[in-house]
Structure 1
Amino acid sequence: MSNSLAAAVLTTADLGEAIRAVHTLLAIADTERIEVDFDAVIGSPDVLARVCDVLPGLEWWASADPEGGSSKAGDDPAGCLPIQVMDWCRPVDPVDRAEPFIAALGPEPAAVRWDLDGWPEVPEAGLEPISQKFAYLTLTVNSRDLYQNEPSQDHTVHVHCRDRNGDQTARVHWLAARVGGRFTGRVEQSTL
């Protein structure tokens, strides 16, 4: 497994603003062969039912004790709440399942990550293109961090990018400016 650095570029209590920022960034990125990953902590049977309607067949395990129940064991997720759910590598239109998934969550914390084909060259900013290996976009909903350890009532857009020298600062500032955000220096390591 490899890792990426995710830089927070916009935190807002307005979910619509966060989703608009994601749309703006997806319009900038190369998304020809995009994949989408979903990760959430679900504690409510109603939310579980709604999420399962959007993402049938997702993997899950009991949050408190992974041995206490899982999709692999064939257990009933409603009897094991709260659970961690995961659905990775869906080759889909960037928003066809993401927005319904987000709507299904209600107040539950989650992350949606888009695995991009790359970030483009921006000659006027002195930025070279970045390949798929270093190009991701994550929206955390009802959580400030990528892993739902910091539940909150706001939502954060994170960009993952790194040039050949391992630097990401210039591109992060440039992307943040595209969505009316700013890079505050908050960076998290993300497992890919």
Structure 2
Amino acid sequence: MSNSTAAAVLTTTDLAEAIRAVRILLAISGGSPEVDYDARITSPDVLARVLHVLPNPDWWSMEGPERGSAKAGDDPAGCLPIHLSHWGAPDSAEPFIAALGPEPAALRWDLDGWPAVPEAQLELITEKYAYLTLTVNSRDLYQDEPSQDHTVHVHVRSEIETDRIGWLADRISGRFTGRTESAPF
């Protein structure tokens, strides 16, 4: 198992701006990445909307899996609040975001890599360290810091790669805030 460093490069209350930034960074990375969905859901209405977008996610009660889980065949609506997780379906990312309302979530795109940028002396970064995360209604990767804004994180090998982080931030009119998190994968 390896870790990447997730660097916050844009925090905004404007969800459309955050989505625009994600689209730009996805275009820079190239390829067609898989997406990991991770959310904390407390509302039956939000749960219904999310299940419409992601019909068979993995989930478990935030009070513990013994209180209810997808593996046990329980009804998630009767086990709220739940932690929901899903993998795949990149075309479901924006509908998932729209379904969330105020609930916190993170979407992580597993990229093919960050490109080499010779004029900036940046080498190719392979998929092992190239991810992109959008946290919705949360500032951190794991929804431990709920907020009313949204943060775009670029993942690199380590926080000392400030040139790469800054170059990516510049592409979305963002800036490296200095805030990083270790992201085990």
TM-score (norm 1): 0.93
Distance 1:84 1:66 in 2: 10
User: Partner of 1:47 in structure 2?
Assistant: 46
1:113 to 108, 111, 115: 108
1:1-192 equivalences under 5 Å are 1-32=1-32, 34-88=33-87, 90=88, 92=89, 94=90, 96-162=91-157, 167-192=160-185
Partner amino acid, structure 2, of 1:131: T
Distance 2:101 2:184 in 1: 26
- Retained in 1: the 8 A contact 2:131–2:156? yes
Per-residue CA deviations over 1:46-78 (Å, capped at 9, x if unaligned) read 110110110111000001222211000111100
Partner amino acid, structure 1, of 2:143: Q
Q: 1:175 deviation in Å?
A: 0.3
**Aligned-pair RMSD on alpha carbons?**
1.3
Distance 1:98 1:65 in 2: 27
**Hey, which bits of structure 1, 4+ residues long, moved more than 3 A?**
none
- Retained in 1: the 8 A contact 2:3–2:157? no
Identity %: 70
Distance 1:55 1:132 in 2: 25
Give the secondary-structure state (helix, strand or coil) at the position aligned to 1:134: coil
Give the secondary-structure state (helix, strand or coil) at the position aligned to 1:103: helix
Q: 1:169 deviation in Å?
A: 1.4
Q: 1:167 deviation in Å?
A: 3.9
Q: 1:127 deviation in Å?
A: 0.3
Distance 1:31 1:57 in 2: 26
Per-residue CA deviations over 1:91-141 (Å, capped at 9, x if unaligned) read x4x4x2100000000000000000000000101110011100010000000
TM-score (norm 2): 0.96
Gaps of 5+ in 1: none
Give the secondary-structure state (helix, strand or coil) at the position aligned to 2:128: helix
Distance 1:29 1:87 in 2: 22
Q: 1:31 deviation in Å?
A: 1.9
Give the secondary-structure state (helix, strand or coil) at the position aligned to 1:85: strand
Gaps of 5+ in 2: none
